[in-house]
Amino acid sequence: MLRTRGWIHAWLLLLPGFVFLIAFTHLPALTTLWSSFFTTPRGRRPAKWAGLENYDTLIGDPIFWKVLWNNAIYAAGTIPLSIIIALVMALWVNRQLAGRGFVRMAYFTPTVLPMIAVANIWMFFYTPGFGLIDQIGGALGFGQTNILGSANSALFGVMVVTIWKEAGFFMIFYLAALQTIPTSLIEAARVEGAGGWTIFRRITLPLLMPTTLFVSINAVVNSFRMVDHIFILTGGGPDNASSLLLFYIYEVAFRFWDTAYAATLTVVLLVFLMILAIGQFFLFDRKVHYR
Amino acid sequence: MTVAANGQAISLQHVRKVWGQTVSLEDLSLEVPAGSFTAVLGPSGCGKSTTLRIIAGLESVSAGKVLIGGRDVTEYSPAQRGISMVFQSYALFPHLTVAENIVFGLKVAGVPRQERQRRLNEVAELLELAPYLNRKPAALSGGQQQRVALGRAVISQRPVCLMDEPLSNLDARLRDEMRREIRRLQRALGFTMVYVTHDQTEAITMADRVVLMNKGQIEQVASPEEIYQRPATPFAARFIGTPPMNLLPPAAFGEALRGVPETLRIGVRPEALTESADGPITAQVKGAEFLGADTLVELNCAGADLLAKLPGTRSLTPGETLRLAVTPDQLHAFDIAQNSRLEDESLAARIRDIQR
């Protein structure tokens, strides 16, 4: 009797959380999966069962492959760089240095700013002719640039903004982790004759592995999830040169109103994220030492 | 055993250490003979750990010099000084196995794999660590972790070993065992040991020489016997020995010591006091504590607190008057103004006379 009541109590406490989680996460995910097997309803024509037709379209869609490739470049470029920069910044501000609080705050500021605001700041940097980059470049005798307007460089322009935004956020995690490493470990390594680089490679870095795992999973998810700045900076152009998977999903769903195809793309995105997160977890986990 | 290293002497010359406004060490000079076991003893905050870290090179000096084996190492990094160190927290690398922890320094120094393995086997045998070599430190007990830290310190065969309160995280029984083990290791390997502790038992039982520190200065450097039998300062007298030595004002001896300076204190160890009907010290009982073989009596003598350790079980009522005696060679005289021991023959004679 008492046991049953305990169960009821526990479920009641979990209920509010479950309601929201199911209503806004699990149910839409399942609906999306379901919709991907139907045609898009238009006007008086309701959705019809389409089987794997949408997935067929997807395989034959050159823009899908284009944005997927873009996303791969985007992830490969932003993740390692933002993690390395975060680590370097954390090591830097973890030391005794004058104005440490100010430097920490300065590094963290991009994280606090909304992505839309960040994109607007960078718009000012990138603007051809009178943007910051061109003004500095012009003063030094370089010609005018159009980073966001050219198909070759638009994606890289977007990537720089992402790195700038993400590095400060990841730095906070590294900084917290660095502060949990006892100084006596570093001192012991110094007494044993290890130099700065050896200490970093053999002591600090392995002890930061749990953080690296956490940060890299976050970075992977973010590389598929953060598209706010694309709206401001390039709108995915030119010619989809800077479009990412999620941005393409948005366009298909809310500009072309092809909801069934958008659902199909979303399913692919979810599967990708799942495989990456699980793979990363198992790949890294063996190498991670948890205290 | 081939792990043996020959110890080197350490010398601190007029060392001063300042943190901002706080003076941690003031004009500290210390000689540690080669191959000796020297314990640096003192209450917390006396500067003993700072002294050790200055020898290690983990702290820089504000002024003065550090010499190891005759070399001026003041500007050297810890690695260049030829020292090994055991930390209070052991500072084992949690992500490395016991074996990797022990050979860390050898690996950094580029010692070939075969040589590393050979020395690891020797050390593992010496410290009975062989069954645990592939475990991580977290899977070991406190005592085993301590042994790993010792192993890491001795495998490099450096001439000087520094230890910073290495036993303070162990329980009492294990501490006794490790005390003997560390002593044995130091004798067998012959390195110079500087051992920082706040525990007088550790210092007295292990060390050849005790360096007693207080408030950033050295109070006394002596053998454990000498520091107990002839404490050089009132602080040394109170710090060594449990319960601490009584420091009585001259008034405690009544009229006999009239005319001596008010800064004079007569030191009597609680265990040196005996009950005697014609003893020179008259005191009122304040309370008594039964210790098993002895009874610790708290008394009041001419306004000063007095502790006496009397043999056997005594039932004493508060307010009762006791007369206590002490043999003259068990008396110490100090001047609290000069913070020093008095070796005044005439005073000694007067104290002896009271006894008769």
> Is the domain of B84 the same as that of B216?
yes
Q: Which residue blocks in chain B are alpha helix, DSSP H? A: 48-56, 98-102, 104-108, 113-126, 142-154, 172-189, 200-206, 224-229, 234-239, 345-355
Helix (H, G, I), strand (E, B), or coil: what is residue B92? coil
Residues of B in contact with A198 (CB under 8 A): 108
Q: Is residue B5 part of a domain?
A: no
> Is the domain of B256 the same as that of B228?
no
Per-residue pLDDT reduced to its tens digit, B234-252: 999 999 988 899 998 888 7
Per-residue pLDDT reduced to its tens digit, B82-92: 899 999 999 99
* Beta-carbon pairs below 8 A across chains A and B: 59
Residue B4 confidence (pLDDT): 46
Nearest to A212 by CA among A85, A33, A51, A83: A83
> Is the domain of B190 the same as that of B263?
no
- Min distance B95 CA to chain A CA atoms (Å): 6
Residues of B in contact with A212 (CB under 8 A): none
Which of B217, B237, B257 is the endpoint of a domain?
B237
Q: How confident is the model at residue B106 (pLDDT cuts 50, 70, 90)?
A: very high
Q: With 0-12 CB in 10 A as exposed, 13-18 as middle and 19+ as buried, what is B231?
A: buried
- Min distance A101 CA to chain B CA atoms (Å): 20
Q: Is residue A11 part of a domain?
A: no
CATH code, domain with A168: 1.10.3720.10
- Min distance A89 CA to chain B CA atoms (Å): 24
Which of B237, B270, B301 is the endpoint of a domain?
B237
Q: Is residue A150 part of a domain?
A: yes
In chain B, the number of structural domains is 2
- Min distance A289 CA to chain B CA atoms (Å): 6
In chain A, the number of structural domains is 1
- pLDDT average, residue stretch A15-32: 92
- CB-CB contact of B28 with B16 (8 Å): yes
> Is the domain of B290 the same as that of B204?
no
Q: Above pLDDT 70, what percent of chain B?
A: 97
For A205, nearest residue in chain B (alpha carbons): B95
Our CA angle for B257, B260, B264, nearest 5°, is 100
Residues of A in contact with B68 (CB under 8 A): none
Residue A145 confidence (pLDDT): 78
Question: Which of A96, A186, A191, A289 to probe the B interface (max B CBs under 10 A)?
Answer: A191
Distance separating alpha carbons of residues B304 and B311, to the nearest angstrom: 23
> Is the domain of B305 the same as that of B174?
no
Which of B218, B237, B256 is the endpoint of a domain?
B237
Structure tokens at B268: 């009597």
Cα–Cα separations (whole angstroms), residue A68 to A236, A273, B99: 13, 13, 47
Residue B14 confidence (pLDDT): 93
Cross-strand pairs, B247: B267
Cα–Cα separations (whole angstroms), residue A223 to A72, A75, A83, B275: 9, 5, 13, 86
Residue A1 confidence (pLDDT): 62
> Is the domain of B52 the same as that of B125?
yes
> Is the domain of B174 the same as that of B259?
no
Residue A110 confidence (pLDDT): 85
Domain residues for the domain of A242 are 56-285
Q: Is A291 on the interface with B (CB under 8 A)?
A: yes
> Is the domain of B252 the same as that of B233?
no
For B138, nearest residue in chain A (alpha carbons): A291
Which residue is listed with tokens 């310190």?
A: B153
Distance separating alpha carbons of residues A199 and A40, to the nearest angstrom: 59
Query: What is the bridge-based pairing of β-strands B264-268 and B321-325?
Result: unpaired
Residue A129 confidence (pLDDT): 79
Q: How confident is the model at residue B3 (pLDDT cuts 50, 70, 90)?
A: very low
For B89, nearest residue in chain A (alpha carbons): A184
Distance separating alpha carbons of residues A234 and A228, to the nearest angstrom: 11
Our CA angle for B41, B44, B45, nearest 5°, is 110
Q: Is A205 on the interface with B (CB under 8 A)?
A: no
Q: With 0-12 CB in 10 A as exposed, 13-18 as middle and 19+ as buried, what is B334?
A: buried
Helix (H, G, I), strand (E, B), or coil: what is residue B37? strand
Q: What's the 3-state SS for B236-297?
A: HHHHCCCCCCEEECHHHHHHHHCCCCCCEEEEECHHHCEECCCCCEEEEEEEEEECCCEEEE
Q: Is residue A37 part of a domain?
A: no
> Is the domain of B195 the same as that of B215?
yes
Q: How confident is the model at residue A291 (pLDDT cuts 50, 70, 90)?
A: low
Q: Check B104 against A192: CB less than 8 A apart.
A: yes
Cross-strand pairs, B264: B335
- Min distance B82 CA to chain A CA atoms (Å): 9
Question: Which of B59, B104, B150 to probe the A interface (max A CBs under 10 A)?
Answer: B104
Per-residue pLDDT reduced to its tens digit, B263-310: 888 899 999 988 888 888 888 899 888 888 888 999 988 888 899 998
Q: Is pLDDT above 70 for A111?
A: yes
Q: Above pLDDT 90, what percent of chain B?
A: 47
Q: Check A291 against B94: CB less than 8 A apart.
A: yes
Distance separating alpha carbons of residues B247 and B234, to the nearest angstrom: 8
Distance separating alpha carbons of residues B184 and B178, to the nearest angstrom: 10
> Is the domain of B66 the same as that of B167?
yes
Residue A52 confidence (pLDDT): 84
Per-residue pLDDT reduced to its tens digit, B140-197: 988 899 999 999 998 988 999 999 998 888 888 888 888 998 999 899 888 999 999 9
Q: Is residue B4 part of a domain?
A: no
Residue A195 confidence (pLDDT): 86
- CB-CB contact of B331 with B323 (8 Å): no
Q: Is residue A157 part of a domain?
A: yes
Domain residues for the domain of B155 are 10-237
Q: How confident is the model at residue A184 (pLDDT cuts 50, 70, 90)?
A: very high
Distance separating alpha carbons of residues B296 and B309, to the nearest angstrom: 5
Q: Is residue B2 part of a domain?
A: no
- pLDDT average, residue stretch A96-110: 83
Residues of A in contact with B91 (CB under 8 A): 182, 184-185, 187-188
Residue A289 confidence (pLDDT): 67
Q: Is A193 on the interface with B (CB under 8 A)?
A: yes
User: Which helix (H) or strand (E) segment is B165 a member of?
Assistant: none
Q: Check A188 against B87: CB less than 8 A apart.
A: yes
Distance of CA B51 to the CA centre of its chain: 13
Q: Is A3 on the interface with B (CB under 8 A)?
A: no
Distance separating alpha carbons of residues B317 and B319, to the nearest angstrom: 6
Distance separating alpha carbons of residues A78 and A33, to the nearest angstrom: 29
Own/partner long-range contacts of A125-133 (Cβ < 8 Å, ≥24 apart): A126/A157, A126/A233
CATH code, domain with B69: 3.40.50.300
In this predicted structure, which of A42-46, A135-139, A238-242, B126-130 has the lowest mean pLDDT?
A42-46
Mean pLDDT, rounded, of chain B: 88
Residue B5 confidence (pLDDT): 53
Q: Check A193 against B105: CB less than 8 A apart.
A: yes
Q: Is residue A20 part of a domain?
A: no
Q: Is A286 on the interface with B (CB under 8 A)?
A: no
Q: Check A194 against B56: CB less than 8 A apart.
A: no
Per-residue pLDDT reduced to its tens digit, A190-248: 999 888 899 999 999 999 988 998 898 888 888 888 888 888 888 877 888 888 889 99
CATH code, domain with B317: 2.40.50.140
Q: Is pLDDT above 50 for B1?
A: no
Our CA angle for B351, B353, B356, nearest 5°, is 125
Q: Is residue A22 part of a domain?
A: no
Distance separating alpha carbons of residues B257 and B55, to the nearest angstrom: 46
Q: How confident is the model at residue B94 (pLDDT cuts 50, 70, 90)?
A: very high
Residue B301 confidence (pLDDT): 85
For A184, nearest residue in chain B (alpha carbons): B91
Q: How confident is the model at residue B344 (pLDDT cuts 50, 70, 90)?
A: confident
CA atoms within 13 A on the CB side of B258: 3
Structure tokens at B323: 């007369």
Q: Is A183 on the interface with B (CB under 8 A)?
A: no
Per-residue pLDDT reduced to its tens digit, B38-74: 999 999 889 999 999 999 999 999 999 999 998 999 9
> Is the domain of B219 the same as that of B174?
yes
> Is the domain of B152 the same as that of B62?
yes
